[in-house]
Every structure is written in structure tokens, then in C-alpha cells.
Structure 1
Amino acid sequence: MKITVVGGGPAGLYFSILMKRQDPSHEIAVYERNPAGSTYGWGVTYWAGLLDKLRAGDPASAEAISAASVTWTDGVAIVRDERTVHRGDAGFGIGRRRMLGLLADRARELGVRVEFEHGVGGPDAPELAGSDLVVAADGVHSALREAYADRFGAELTSGRNHYIWLGTTKVFDSFSFAFKETEHGWIWCYAYGFSGERSTCVVECSPATWTGLGMDRMNEADSLNLLEKLFADLLDGEPLIGREHADGSAQWLTFRTLTTRTWHHGNLVLLGDAAHTTHYSIGAGTTLALEDALALAAALRPAGDLDAALTTYGKRRRAELVSAQSAARYSAQWYENLPRYMALEPAKMFALLGQRHSPLLPHVPPQLYYRLDRAAEQLEPLRRFKRWLGPRVARAVHRSSRA
């Protein structure tokens, strides 16, 4: 096959690796519009289960990613000025730039042509001529998807809160949260290490807090200075690092959740953020994109009807994403309704932070939910009832939101 991948993110590069391993005779090119080493964000997170899947797909790239990653087991939350520790499963962080470099090197090693600073303007671009398969891995703003907007049925839903993606020279050895109350409301951050020198720090707040603190009027330098003061106990005096716009403004965003009705049109197929996004607070975006690549490569493994293979891929991944998309939706809503939980003692609040994916939590008073959750850990019948009731509440809420 002649395969053209538009977008050199983790999903596009990893898919090219998988397809070359399946059949070295495939002619594969990856086109990325940005320069090599240029990427948004700082570090990405993942869990041990992803490494197992990557090892099955390509042991060499999996081992390279594992070796370049840092790990943690604890979660730490600072609420006002009180620190709480929660023991958890092992998590991993790796610099996004580092991951992309490893995947690009592996793709080239296998014979994939990887070209940076080479954009593809649309479905009629000469780079796509003669391709048996075109993979749109060009992100949430995918030009290829938008060229067939009616076919793909993309829907974008904007979240309410503002957030900014920052780096810091403070190296965290645990996944850390900090929640600070200001006269204008709560502001909080998520922080995790991704190397021995840097960490990611994502700051979020409500629109009222954002404007009340004057963030809507500040340049990036002033924003970082204020955030460093607010989160001084978390950062231990280390600076925050931003990505300044040309006009000097800070890159505050609102998250947009993307869903698509179908994932392919003819020989054009969507991959990763071009097909779907999930709120950053569940830390699954890169994992889901790489799982897309694994699923697409698996669907294409038997030689045969391309349309049937792409249909199978889309149906499988849409079904597999239901759980993650539900968890992301409830997680985003938990943070959008943060004041509901902040009257709890810090340890209890942190416990419900870990339960934020639950469809029951928004409908049960926080104190009562906490007591029920603790009781469910001891009583098997109550645990079974909770597992039975949760999906039914989620379906009812989903139907109501679509009505």
C-alpha cells in the first residue's frame, strides 16, 4: 500500500511504525507542518497498561519510551495550606518532545519518510495523489476532516473553565494537586514530572476567578508572576515557564471536546485528536491516540476490503471510547463545580477527587457520597449496587442531555 499520514504527532508516527512492521513493502510518508522538535504542551502521562500494548505493537519503541520516562506512585494534594497524600498505582511521565523524537527516529529506522515543516493543504494536495490510504492525524483542527465536514459529523463542545499549560523547573516525584482560595474564587493546578529537569503544571479556574484576578488583562510575564505567588508552596520557589504568544499574551484556553459521527470517508481515515478529544484532567489523550493507531493497524492487518477494515476500526474505537469519554465528561464537570466539594475536610475532598469520574457523584451530597463510598469498600452488596446503579444514571443523564 501507499500510505500518507498527515500529522506527525504520537498517533501518526506510531501508526507508521506499526504498518512498516506489518509489511516493510508499504510505502509510507508522514508530513508534519511544524518544525522537528516543535510541540505544544510539556509532558504527557500514561499508565503501565499502555506500555504493555506498545510492547506488543513494537518492542523497540516501547522500550525507548519506557527508558525515557519517569514514574510515581503517590498523589499529593495541597488544599489551602494542608497537604494530603494518597497511595496509588504507578504512573509515568515523558516529555512530549522526547516521545516524538523517539517515534520519529524509529519510523525512519524502519523506512518511513518523515518530513517536517511540510504542511498538506487539503484533500487535493499533490502529496496525497496516488495514496491507497490517507490518515488524518492532524489534530482537533484537522483540515482533512473539515473538508468533508458533513460526512464526518464533527461536534465541538466548549468547556466552561479557563486553563493554561505551563512547565516548571520544579521536579515533582508524585502527581500533585494544589487548590488555592482567593477573594475571587478557587484556582488550582495539576503538576507532574516528565524528566529529571522539568515538570508540567496545568492551571485551571472558573471564568469569574480568571477575570477577578485580572488574568484576562495580563501579559504572560505578569500571569506567571501571579501564579508563582499563588502556588509558592507547591513550587518551592521554582519558576513557571510559559509559551509566549507573539503579542506577549498568556495562552489561556477553554477545552473543546470533539466527537465525530463516523471516522472514515473513502480512503481517508481519522486518527487521534482529529477524531476525538477527552478532557485533559483524566490524562488519557496520548494513550487513546496511540490505542487508535494500534486498532487501525490491527484492522488493516488482513489484506482485503479497505472500506470494511476502516468501518471495523471506527466501530471498535467508538465503542471502546465510551467509557473514557464518560469519565472525561464527569471529571471536567467535577472541576467546573469545584466549590461543591471544598467544604469537605481535605482528606475527604481528595478522596472524592479520585471519584470524580462517577456518574453518581453529581447527584449525591458530597458528605453522603463519601460515607457510602467508604461503606461500599466494606460491604460487597453495596459495592455491587453502586456498580449496577452508576451506568444507569449515566445513561439517563446522557439521554436527557441529548433530548
Structure 2
Amino acid sequence: MRIVCVGGGPAGLYFAISAKRRDASQEIIVLERDPPGATYGWGVVYWDNLLDVLFRNDPGSARALRAASTLWQEQRISLGGSSAAYLTGYGFSLQRAALLEILARRATDLGVEVEYRHEVDDLRPYADADLVVASDGANSRVRQLAQDDFGTKVEIGGNPYIWLGTDKRFDSFTFAFERTSAGWIWFHAYPSSVGVSTCIVECSQRTWKGLGLDLLSAEDAPRMLEKIFSGPLDGHPLISQCRGRAARWLRFADVTNRSWYHDNVVLIGDAAHTTHFAFGSGTALAIVDAVALAQSMYDSGGDLPAALRDFDRRGRAALGPLQAAARTSMAWFERVDPYLDQDPVSFAYSMASRQGEQPPWRYPVHRVSQHPAVRRALRGLNSSARWGLARRRGEPVARRSAEG
């Protein structure tokens, strides 16, 4: 079978890896429009459930990805420079460039051809392909060639946001909300790699225009934001340039499709669906798509139409609740003003409860968990759980003890 993957992001590369591991005889080529190493964006976050998928599917690349990742513990929420509140838990983050380099190397080792600087605007040159995998992102050119057949719907969010970096090292997933003369503005920050953190700045359209951020250049906007967030950043600078590209303000595109396949073209990752960054699962869902499509093809015994039907049916059914939760999360941040007059502990609970009503016992537990001794105990419990999960999936455990 000849397979052409358009787009060399996590979805396309991991599908190529997954498909090759199930059937090495398949001829797979990944076409990426950018040069090697070029990627827009800083870091991605994930949790233990993705590590479970990675280690089951391809332990070799899983070990490399985990080794390149950084552990963060707790979520820290501050309001206008006041004392912070905390949410328990932990997660992992990974520089996007490192993620792509590891996956591209693994795909190449398995016999996948990865071709860079290759723009695809027309599928006619690939008429001999048995399958075309559109893994070219939320603005998928392949999807746009037949978007009526896919039933594509794109809704644009209201809040402007921008992905930046900083050399301040965050140990927690940090939310910092700051009041300005034009309204509230905030960032989501987390470690990306050694010495570098990702910092996503977001605000309402009214605040964005009121501050004049819509008129500032790519060089001047970070300087203004550094002043606004000088406290949470401890005076560290914000970085706009990422691998030669200046960051720009965006609005989230909520992409849905009535069908994820048409004829021999199938959509995966952001080409098929997007989830708001406040939900933090875009990369994980792209990888889950990649595994699911490869497995459907393997299970079908060569019946490609049956494989695509199975992937579409199972994938959309599983994604529905997650995409709904992501929309709820996005809407909460777009309507956050009524919550911002609370104290940090109450505000943090509102943020943690944004998916729906909570049982009565949750709030007292949340308040107790703010005590330093309780937080230390919870971090210890999380470390034990993390060590157990690492052993179960065959992850080297010496690293777990080093991280505590």
C-alpha cells in the first residue's frame, strides 16, 4: 500500500511510525512544507494517559520523548499580584521542536520517507496513492480542497492570544492574571525545556484594543507585556522569535467535520478537529488519532474503505465529549470577568470547576489543599503514583526518583 501523509507534525509523523510498525511493507512518505527543524510554537503539555499510549504503541520513541520532557507539579494561580492559590496534580511538557525531531528520526529509522520544503496544493500528483492522510493542521489545505465533502465547520473564538517564550523557569503550570487600565490580561505558562518556558498570553478583544496591542509590532508587543507581567515573570524577558518566526496574535479556530474521510483522503489531528489550548490536549489527541487510524487499517486486513469507516465512527464518538469540554473551557476564559473579584483560592476553585457542578465536599478539600504541609503530602502521593505508573509501562524508574 502506498500512503502519502501531507503534513509533518505530530499527527502525520506518528501515524507513519504506527502504520510502519504494524506493516513494514507499506510505502509511506511524509510531505512537510517547512524545512527540517522549523516549527511555530514553543512547548506542548501532556499527562500520564498519553505516556501509556506511547509506551504501548512504540516503546523506542516513547523513551526518547519522555527523556526529553520536563515534569511540572501543581497549578499555580495568582490574581493581580496577590498571594497565589494551587491546584494539585502534575503533568509533563516537551519542546515542540524536540518532539518533531524525535518523531522524524524514528519514522526515518523505520523506513518512512520524510520530505521537507514540499508544499501540497493539489492532490492530482498523488493519484497513485492508495491513501492520503491530511495531517496538515487546523488550516489544512488538503481539507479545503474538498471541505464540502468533509462537512467542515470553523468557528473563531473571541479572545486574542499569542504564544511566547521566556527564560524564566516555571516549575508549576502557572496562570497569572493582571489588571490593567483596559481590563484583565493573563498568561498560561509552563516549562518547555531546560531554561525555557512557554508563555501564552490571552485577553478579551476589548482589553487587547484598549492596550493598543493590535497596533504594536512583533518587537514592541512583548516589551509591553513584560511590563504588565513583571511580577509573575520576576523581571525576565518574553521571547517572540521561535526558530526564525516572530509570534503573532491569533484567535482560536474551533474546527469540526461531519466526516473525517472522503474517498481515499482521511483527516487526522487538527485537520479533523481542534481543542482549545486551555484544555491542553491537542497534541495528545493528534497522536491518539494516529494510533487509531493505523490500528483500524491493520484490523481491516487490507479493506481500506472499512478501515476508514471504522476510524471515523470510533474517533468522532470518542472525541465528542472531549471537544465539548474544550469548548466549555474556552468559553469560561472568554467570560472570566465575573470571577475575577474573588480571592485567589475561590477563583482557583472556579477555574477548576469550569466543566460543571462539583460535589459539596470538593470545595472544603480544595481549601485544605492550600496548606503547605498538605501540598507537600499530595506531591509525595503523586510522586508515588507516578513511580508506579512508570514501572508498569516499562519506563526507567531512576528518573522518577530524581524528580521526586
Q: CA RMSD in A?
A: 2.1
Alpha-carbon distance between aligned partners in 1 of 2:180 and 2:343, rounded to the nearest angstrom: 18
The 2-side partners of 1:101 and 1:178 are apart by 31
Q: Which residue of 1 aligns with 2:343?
A: 345
List per-residue Cα deviations over 1:129-150 (Å, max 9, x = no partner).
Answer: 3111110101111121111111
| 1:295 lines up with 2:323 in the alignment | no
Q: Work out the number of aligned pairs and report it.
A: 366
Q: Is the 8 A contact 1:243 1:251 kept in 2?
A: no
Q: Look up the match of 1:83.
A: 83
Q: Name which of structure 1's ranges 202-211 and 301-310 shifts more when overlaid on structure 2.
A: 301-310
- Given the alignment, which residue of 252, 255, 259 partners 1:258? 255
1:374 aligns with 2:363: yes
Q: Does 1:73 align with 2:73?
A: yes
Q: Does 1:31 align with 2:20?
A: no
Higher relative contact order (CA 8 A, sep 6+): 2
> Within 2, Cα distance between the matches of 1:8 and 1:101?
10
- Describe how 1:152-191 pairs up with structure 2 within 5 A: 152-191=150-189
Contact persistence 1:244–1:251 (CA under 8 A):
no
- TM-score relative to the length of structure 1: 0.87
Are residues 1:271 and 2:268 paired? yes
Looking at structure 1, the residues matched to 329 and 221 of structure 2 have their Cα atoms a distance apart, in angstroms, of: 26
Runs of 4+ in 1 over 4 A off after TM superposition: 369-373
Could you say what secondary structure the match of 2:4 adopts? strand
The alignment-based identity, stated in percent, is: 47
Partner of 1:94: 94
1:3-402 equivalences under 5 Å are 3-124=3-124, 126=125, 128-243=126-241, 251-302=248-299, 303-358=301-356, 360=357, 373-374=362-363
| C-alpha contact 2:85 2:344 (8 A) present in aligned 1 | no
Q: Secondary structure at the match of 1:281?
A: coil
Partner SS state of residue 313, structure 2: helix
Q: Deviations over 1:324-363 (max 9, x none)?
A: 11111111111111111112111010111111222x5xxx
**Which residue does the alignment assign to 2:375?**
none
Q: Gaps (5+ residues) in structure 2?
A: 367-404
The 2-side partners of 1:32 and 1:339 are apart by 41
SS in structure 2 at match of 1:194: strand
Distance 1:152 1:87 in 2: 40
CA shift for structure 1 position 83:
3.0
Structure 1 CA distance for aligned equivalents of residues 137 and 362 of structure 2: 38
Indicate conservation of the 8 Å contact 2:79/2:344, yes or no: yes
8 Å Cα contact 1:184-1:212 kept in structure 2: yes
User: What is the CA deviation profile of residues 106-148 of structure 1, one whole-angstrom value per residue up to 9, with x for unaligned ones?
Assistant: 0000110001111222221x2x231111101011111211111
Decide whether the 8 Å contact of 1:220 with 1:244 is kept in 2: no
Query: Are residues 317 and 233 of structure 1, via their aligned partners in 2, closer, same or farther at CA, if it must alter by over 3 Å?
Result: same
**TM-score calculated relative to the size of structure 2:** 0.87
2:90 and 2:72 mapped to 1: Cα distance?
6
Give, in angstroms, the shift of residue 251 of structure 1: 0.8
Unpaired stretches in structure 1, ≥5 consecutive residues: 361-368, 378-403
Determine the C-alpha separation between the residues in 2 that align with 1:121 and 1:218.
Answer: 33
Q: Distance in 2 between matches of 1:58 and 1:245?
A: 28
Q: Which amino acid aligns with 1:286?
A: T
Provide the rounded CA distance (Å) in 1 between the counterparts of 2:170 and 2:102. Answer: 23
| Separation (CA, whole Å) in 2 of partners of 1:172 and 1:83 | 17
Aligned to 2:387: none
CA contact (8 A) 2:42 2:242 kept: no
Shift of 1:304: 3.3
Alpha-carbon distance change, 204 to 136 in structure 1, aligned in 2, over 3 angstroms: same
Contact 2:71 2:91 in 1 (8 A): yes
1:377-403 CA distances to partner (integer Å, 9 max, x unpaired)? 9xxxxxxxxxxxxxxxxxxxxxxxxxx
